[in-house]
Chain A
Amino acid sequence: MSTPAPAVAARALIKTYPGDVTALNGMDVTVEAGTVFGLLGPNGAGKSTTVKILTTLARPDSGEATVAGHDVLRHPDRVRRAIGVVAQKSGADPVATGRENLRLQGRLYGLKGAALTRRVDELLERFDLAEAGARIVRGYSGGMLRRLDVALGLVHRPEVLFLDEPTTGLDPEARTAMWDEISRLAGDEGLTILLTTHYLEEADRLAERIAIVDRGRVVVEGTPDELKGELRGDAVHVELRKEGDRVVLTAVLSGLPGVHEVLVEGRRVSVRADDGAAAVPALLAALERAGAAVAAATVARPSLDDVYLRYAGRRFSEAESQSRSQSQSPELLPAGDAR
């Protein structure tokens, strides 16, 4: 029995932009047909660049990729016919109506006549835009606009759908609605979805497999449960009243029984403990002895945030703020040495 070819297969993608910015640094992605795959990482990790290459917008400096069995560099036209793309920015034409946007999109894929009208009606209905279809897109709410974007990506019934940060900028209610929509899409026969997100919760909820992306490459990949399961025990987070000495505290805490992976960053201390609740008293006592007053302590079951911390060596939120400050200074700060 042969396994079916993957819907997306990218190997060793490297892409640099002018100014020596390395966007991708050996990116590998394999997505099995008919599954939902999540690329999870902070802003600037290389998710969008990966999507741009896989959707034929950008060319990698090196590496190769096939989508729906077609080589993105040699047969971009075949790839374009097989994919639907919902980019980070809405590409809808704001001075046209929703229906006009969909009709034009359909025509570009060769749909016409009654088939085109039928397909457009079907999508307007499905995405709850039947009434709004006759209105100019400029007046749409954020949620409506996003639904139209997804509808535009589906006009020609693609084999592979790319969703680049589908819920960024949406209010919580519209986000939940979009999640339901994506879950429903995932049930569509044969549709493969590659989703990028910087929301841990989103990847956890929607994707069957997740690849965590950091600095232009995948640092770990698996199902959400696998990733969380690889972490031993619970996460214990302690907030100090004052910034502690990193070296001293790390040494003190690492010596405690049942405590692993100590990370001290400013006032935040995180450890992994076989039994979180049981470890807390010893932990607090040790901190007390080292002269570090404790403001708060929490115990949590492993989350994807912890997975990220473990494999990327830094906290998700920290990576986000680093990628923002990076636009001012190109120098990368070593992990865990941010302040």
Chain B
Amino acid sequence: MSTDTLTQTWYMTQRQLMAIVRQPVFLVISLIQPVIWLFLFGNLFKKVVELGGFGTTSYLDYLIPGIVVMSALGSSMWAGMGTLEEIERGTLNRFLTTPVSRSALMNANVVQNGISTAVQSVVIVLLGLLGGADYPGGFGGLLILVVASILLGTVFGALSNALGMLVRQRESIIGINTFLLLPLTFLSSAFMAPSQMPSWMQHIADFNPVNWAMIAGRSAMSADPDWSVVLGRGGALLALAVAAVWLSTRTFRSYQKSV
């Protein structure tokens, strides 16, 4: 990648980040929402740890990685709406008539999504700390959780962008997202220890990338991490992220042909 592409990627990323910071309502909601999840689910399911299999006696400890990953999913899957707006407004076409590197335009989506997910994840981890959560895996474990949620955000952000460029309809993105968000979350270990899930659910969860991110993060955050689990799930997420970005780059090319 040329230095031009790198600096241009940064310019375009900066532009997107600035746009987020300038929408305080959006910013506040995306930070308050995890707090509500933590508070609601933390209290609602407080006693389930007594069932065993959670690896901790504090449900909050168990819940934090679940909420971090769920929030990464919840915010990234709307990325396509922004792309759609840029297409409709003509901003994307304006950039396409300049000599800007085409990959810089696509990279910026990925980098911005990664930075936003990282900030959101760190805030939730800090909120957990305030609420008295314990992180036995230390800084290293938390870092892996954040990386896992960034990878998951990359997967869904890229897919959402591809969908936006392909169907060009807000309704489709809204429909698919509302359809997917809860099943993807509940068919994972977000709220319930895998050993307490019905076995058919466990099998489905094994194929759920949202669950991969939670398992990798949780495992790394435990006092005695199982590194093969972390690497296995993390590697699968990385592969999926690469595939999703490749797909959205392809759709971007087909968008350029359809103008």
**Interface positions of A (Cβ within 8 A of B):** 52, 55-59, 77, 80-81, 83, 85, 87-96, 100, 104-105, 107-109, 136, 152
> B22 touching A108 by the CB < 8 A rule?
no
Given contacts A52-B259, A57-B259, contact A91 B99 (CB under 8 A): no
Interface flag for B96 (CB, 8 Å) = yes
Contacts of B94 in A (CB 8 A): 85, 87, 91-92, 152
> B99 touching A108 by the CB < 8 A rule?
yes
> B97 touching A57 by the CB < 8 A rule?
yes
A-B contact pairs, 30 of them (CB 8 A): A57-B93, A57-B96, A57-B256, A57-B259, A80-B97, A81-B99, A85-B97, A87-B90, A88-B90, A89-B89, A89-B93, A90-B89, A91-B89, A91-B94, A93-B15, A93-B19, A93-B91, A95-B18, A95-B19, A95-B23, A96-B15, A96-B18, A100-B15, A100-B18, A104-B15, A107-B8, A108-B8, A108-B11, A108-B99, A136-B22
What distance in Å separates the Cβ of B39 from its nearest Cβ neighbour in chain A? 31
From B89, B93, B98, contact of A108 by CB (8 A): B98
Contacts of A136 in B (CB 8 A): 22
What distance in Å separates the Cβ of A47 from its nearest Cβ neighbour in chain B? 15
> B98 touching A80 by the CB < 8 A rule?
yes
Interface flag for B45 (CB, 8 Å) = no
Chain B minimum-CB-distance residue to A136: B22
The CA-CA distance from A94 to B90 in the complex, in Å, is: 11
From B91, B98, B256, B259, contact of A92 by CB (8 A): B91
Mask, B82-125, CB within 8 Å of A = 1, is 00000001110111111110000000000000000000000000
The CA-CA distance from A104 to B15 in the complex, in Å, is: 8
> B97 touching A90 by the CB < 8 A rule?
no
> B89 touching A55 by the CB < 8 A rule?
no
Chain A minimum-CB-distance residue to B91: A91
Name the interface residues of B55-97: CB closer than 8 Å to any CB of A: 89-91, 93-97
The CA-CA distance from A57 to B96 in the complex, in Å, is: 7
What distance in Å separates the Cβ of A72 from its nearest Cβ neighbour in chain B? 11
Main SS of chain B's interface residues?
Answer: helix
The CA-CA distance from A89 to B11 in the complex, in Å, is: 23
Given contacts A58-B259, A100-B18, contact A94 B89 (CB under 8 A): yes
Contacts of A104 in B (CB 8 A): 11, 15
> B93 touching A87 by the CB < 8 A rule?
yes
Q: Which 5 residue pairs spanning A and B have beta carbons closest together?
A: A91-B94, A89-B90, A91-B90, A85-B97, A80-B99
What distance in Å separates the Cβ of A248 from its nearest Cβ neighbour in chain B? 49
Chain A minimum-CB-distance residue to B256: A57
The CA-CA distance from A95 to B82 in the complex, in Å, is: 12
Chain A minimum-CB-distance residue to B100: A108
> B97 touching A83 by the CB < 8 A rule?
yes
By size class, the interface of chain B is 20 to 34
What distance in Å separates the Cβ of A136 from its nearest Cβ neighbour in chain B? 7
Contacts of B256 in A (CB 8 A): 57
What distance in Å separates the Cβ of A295 from its nearest Cβ neighbour in chain B? 44
Mask, B12-33, CB within 8 Å of A = 1, is 0001001100110000000000
Given contacts A93-B15, A96-B19, A136-B22, contact A109 B99 (CB under 8 A): yes
In this complex, the member of A77, A90, A108 whose beta carbon has the largest number of chain B beta carbons within 10 angstroms is: A108
Contacts of A88 in B (CB 8 A): 90
> A55 touching B91 by the CB < 8 A rule?
no
Contacts of B98 in A (CB 8 A): 80, 105, 108-109
What distance in Å separates the Cβ of A192 from its nearest Cβ neighbour in chain B? 16
What distance in Å separates the Cβ of A66 from its nearest Cβ neighbour in chain B? 16
> B8 touching A90 by the CB < 8 A rule?
no
The CA-CA distance from A89 to B86 in the complex, in Å, is: 11
The CA-CA distance from A104 to B94 in the complex, in Å, is: 12
The CA-CA distance from A238 to B246 in the complex, in Å, is: 64
Chain A minimum-CB-distance residue to B257: A59
Contacts of B257 in A (CB 8 A): 59
> B18 touching A91 by the CB < 8 A rule?
no
Contacts of B19 in A (CB 8 A): 93, 95-96
6 extra A-B contacts, CB within 8 A, seeds A81-B99, A91-B94, A95-B22: A57-B97, A80-B99, A85-B97, A91-B89, A91-B90, A108-B99
Contacts of B90 in A (CB 8 A): 87-91
The CA-CA distance from A104 to B19 in the complex, in Å, is: 13
The CA-CA distance from A105 to B100 in the complex, in Å, is: 9
The CA-CA distance from A94 to B256 in the complex, in Å, is: 23
Name the interface residues of B203-259: CB closer than 8 Å to any CB of A: 256-257, 259
Contacts of A89 in B (CB 8 A): 89-90, 93
Contacts of B97 in A (CB 8 A): 55-57, 80, 83, 85, 87
The CA-CA distance from A96 to B89 in the complex, in Å, is: 14
What distance in Å separates the Cβ of A98 from its nearest Cβ neighbour in chain B? 14
Chain A minimum-CB-distance residue to B21: A95
Contacts of B15 in A (CB 8 A): 93, 96, 100, 104
The CA-CA distance from A136 to B24 in the complex, in Å, is: 14
The CA-CA distance from A136 to B94 in the complex, in Å, is: 18
What distance in Å separates the Cβ of A109 from its nearest Cβ neighbour in chain B? 7
What distance in Å separates the Cβ of B196 from its nearest Cβ neighbour in chain A? 45
What distance in Å separates the Cβ of A138 from its nearest Cβ neighbour in chain B? 10
Contacts of A93 in B (CB 8 A): 15, 19, 91
What distance in Å separates the Cβ of B42 from its nearest Cβ neighbour in chain A? 35
